Amino acid sequence: MKIGFDNQKYLDMQSRHIRDRIALFGDKLYLEFGGKLFDDYHASRVLPGFKPDSKLQMLMQLKDDAEIVVVINADDIEKNKVRGDLGITYDLDVLRLIDVFRSRGLYVGSVVLTRFADQSAAVKFEEKLTENGIRVYHHYSIPNYPSDIDLIVSEDGYGKNDYVETTRRLVVITAPGPGSGKMAVCLSQLYHENKRGIKAGYAKFETFPIWNLPLKHPVNVAYEAATADLNDVNMIDPFHLEAYGETTVNYNRDIEIFPVLNTMFETILGKSPYKSPTDMGVNMAGNCIIDDEATCAAANQEIIRRYYTALCNQTKGNGSPDETYKIGLLMKQNKLTAADRAVIAPALRREEETGAPAAAIELEDGTIITGKTSDLLGACSAMLLNAMKHLGNIPKSVDLIDAAVIEPIQKLKVDRFGSLNPRLHTDEILIALSISAVTNPTARLAMEQLPKLRNTEAHATVILSETDTRTLKKLGILLTTEPKYETKKLYRG
């Protein structure tokens, strides 16, 4: 993967910019963190060189000044809302986030339950947090939010919320997912701090869209593709253009809510510190792109991947035709087709030649390696072995794993575990290979090639099992699949 983003420059510039914003307000800054504070794989894909934990690393440069408040919507706890990327509920993700922050030496001050109404699951979750020494605060629903500003900014609005006690100058407000109420918590705290005579300010840290890139830049278009299910639309910030004569990019929800926010700032603070939604942001990512061509290429691949993901979700029955249609329009807007993804055509050709599912992977040097379905291996398992052979200069004719090793595993799967598919999944073939590597130097050489597969592109001609999908993701392989199943079976457990 060609590097297009200077990660170290970003860490230095971003932390310095946040310090400057703290100083602008005086005593305290409430910083709303949009998106993922760590494991931000979308950013690392569209900004090649950006590390998935860059925002967390940046925050660690400020850790002596910072404390973290995690926000979760009590209704989401009650509904067992699940993070799609991790497959865990929002309340479990709060625990995960706290553990990760603490393991990095960051101070987690408390958890805020928003829209709290004594929901039974939320009460049990609060008890669990309290038993573990974590402070919990309640924020409540306010009628006619956010339009009735007189009510909101009063003792019957924000005044009813618990005051979240904080001890440090930088208070980072984060959450397990959208709709948690991060901004409302920030504004409620401004109200309470102002009553106490404490000078506090608000800023927003949202990586995308990148405000100082063009509206139709592939990185910003990739963000629209990633949020197609939320109906987010990138727009020119009209408030910024009017105030400064400068064209910047923001997204529709922040632009639509800004007049309301501005009035709230004026009501709470006496004067609004901002003239536009762009003013509220502190993101410096756009200043750290060092190779625009590499960044555009990476973002275009992300748009195509998002399109294929939407198609597959529709086939699985958990996607929306509107989402697929919108990303399809973004593809056309950027003049992108399947031909722009180099692994698709070779995979489809291999399937046509063999009459069975196939897969292809593009290595760092541009070499395309394919894999076919056989009696022993699934297409992706074969693809991985073939790629490792190529990278290790191992002849194609060499068997990395003896059939005598594979067959007992197949027998165990079918006879003991009741599997209808005797072929080895990607995780099973890698385990078999790792065992062979103990006594087989060639297998060991192949295993040593695995790190070289990170950030490579791959395509399969059928929707893969969850096991294969998860394994390829862990290897860092950027996968797409055709929106079809290998068989017409109704149950796919």
| Cα of 217 vs its chain's centroid, Å | 20
- Nearby residues of 242 by Cβ (< 8 Å), 6 or more positions away: none
Q: What is the pLDDT of residues 243-256, one digit of tens each?
A: 999 999 998 989 99
The amino acid present at 450, given as its one-letter code, is L
Distance CA 299, CA 286 (A): 14
412 phi and psi angles, rounded to 5 deg: -65, -45
* Residue 411, beta-bridge partner list: none
Query: Which residue ranges form the domains of the chain, and what is each CATH number?
Result: 7-219+232-288 (3.10.630.10), 344-493 (3.40.140.40)
Provide the pLDDT for residue 214. Answer: 97
How much is the pLDDT for 488? 72
Mean pLDDT of 437-456: 95
pLDDT of residue 17 exceeding 90, the answer is yes
Whether the per-residue pLDDT at 493 is higher than 70: the answer is: no
Neighbouring-strand partners of residue 73:
114
* pLDDT confidence tier of residue 492, bands split at 50, 70 and 90: low
Q: How far apart are CA 456 and CA 122, in angstroms?
A: 42
The pair of three-digit structure tokens given for residue 397, joined into one six-digit string? 């004719």
> Taking 70 as the threshold, does the pLDDT of residue 490 lie above it?
no
Q: Say how far apart CA 220 and CA 214 lie, in whole Å.
A: 8
Q: Model confidence at 375, in pLDDT bands (50, 70, 90)? A: confident
Q: How far apart are CA 51 and CA 65, in angstroms?
A: 23
Q: Which long-range contacts (CB under 8 A, 24 or more apart) does 400-406 make?
A: 400/433, 400/436, 400/440, 400/442, 400/443, 400/446, 401/429, 401/432, 401/433, 401/436, 401/443, 402/436, 403/376, 405/432, 405/435, 405/436, 406/376, 406/377, 406/432
Cβ atoms of residues 69 and 129 within 8 Å: no
Buried-exposed string 391-412: b where 16+ CB fall within 10 A, e elsewhere: bbebeeeeebbeeebbeebbee
Amino acid 397: pLDDT: 92
pLDDT, tens digit (0-9, with 9 covering 90-100), for 459-469? 999 999 998 99
When the pLDDT of each residue in the chain is averaged and rounded to a whole number, the result is 93
Q: How many CB atoms lie within 10 A of CB 17?
A: 16
Arithmetic mean of pLDDT, 76-103: 91
Q: Who's near 303: CB < 8 A, 6+ residues apart?
A: 218, 221, 222, 225, 327, 330, 331, 334, 336
Taking residues 72-94, report their average pLDDT: 91
pLDDT at 5: 98
CA distances from 291 to 5, 44, 139, 296, 428 (A): 7, 14, 45, 9, 39
Round to whole Å and give the CA distance between 300 and 306: 10
Whether 168 shows a pLDDT value over 60: the answer reads yes
The pLDDT-based confidence of 75 (bands split at 50, 70, 90) is very high
Q: What is the DSSP-derived secondary structure letter of residue 465?
A: P
Per-residue pLDDT tens digits for 106-163: 999 999 999 999 999 999 999 999 999 999 999 999 999 988 999 999 999 999 999 9
Helix (H) or strand (E) holding 478: strand 478-481
Predicted local confidence at residue 484, as pLDDT: 96
Query: Which among 275, 202, 284, 213 is positioned nearest to 244, based on CA atoms?
Result: 275
Place of tokens 């660690």: 60
Does residue 197 or residue 420 have the better pLDDT?
197
Paired with 113 in beta bridges are: 72, 138
The more confidently predicted of residues 11 and 493 is: 11
Q: Judge whether 371 and 379 are in contact, CB under 8 Å.
A: yes
Instruction: Label the pairing between strands 107-114 and 88-89.
Output: unpaired
Q: How far is CA 127 from CA 133, 328, 464, in A?
A: 10, 46, 40
Confidence of residue 319 (pLDDT cuts 50, 70, 90): confident
Q: What local confidence, expressed as pLDDT, does residue 452 receive? A: 97
